[in-house]
Amino acid sequence: MLTPATGAVAAPAPVSSPLSSPAPVGKPAPRNQAAAPTSPKATQQSREKELVAKLAKAGTEAEAADIRSELEALRTKPLRPTTMLLLRRATRELSEQKPADAIEDLGAALALQSDAAVLWRLRAQAKLAGGDTDGAVSDLGIAVQHDADDAVNWETLTAVEEARSDGPAAFRAWQRAMELDPKLPGAETRLEKLRLKAFGQPT
């Protein structure tokens, strides 16, 4: 019969599996544990929220204009090169009074990136320029679903509802635009004009 040799190393005690034995509740994480990296999309969304809040509290029109520019740049940043090419072409076509061509190019852009709220808003503007107010309202509905804090969505909706002769809807849309961007040029004057169109002269 074989006997263990004197001085032999004892077998190690069994190690419990973390899957079978729950970790102690409330145990602090190691100090050197790295935090989970923040995704670029989350970083952009956080910056957009910050800028939206700043725009609502801007002290001057110049400050508001700078914030608007940065917001628009952020909103177009996720667009891929092909989408941006279509967007630039559509913008040029709109400036040349060719809304039908712009609508076609923006439709192609949306086929590539339908989750980009800015594209729905821009196509709504093109449809408004082409006289398709119902189509513009439909596109703006999707734009607002994706980005309800974009003041330009509400500015555009104001113009569309005015074209549809819906005074109360135009008034409400402009109120929302002013909540998001109080320093819009001529905001108070336009609000009063819209109020008169919607509800008439107060008695």
Q: What angle do CA 73, 107, 169 make, to 5 degrees?
A: 75
The candidate with the shortest Cα–Cα distance to 69, out of 92, 95, 51, is: 51
pLDDT for the residue 20: 41
In the chain, the amino acid numbered 149 is D
In the chain, the amino acid numbered 11 is A
pLDDT for the residue 30: 54
pLDDT for the residue 25: 52
pLDDT for the residue 12: 44
* Rounded Cα gap, residues 150 and 167, in angstroms: 21
Residues of the chain with pLDDT under 70: 1-37, 203
Give the per-residue SS3 of 15-69: CCCCCCCCCCCCCCCCCCCCCCCCCHHHHHHHHHHHHHHHHHCCCCHHHHHHHHH
pLDDT for the residue 11: 44
Instruction: Name the pTM for this structure.
Output: 0.79
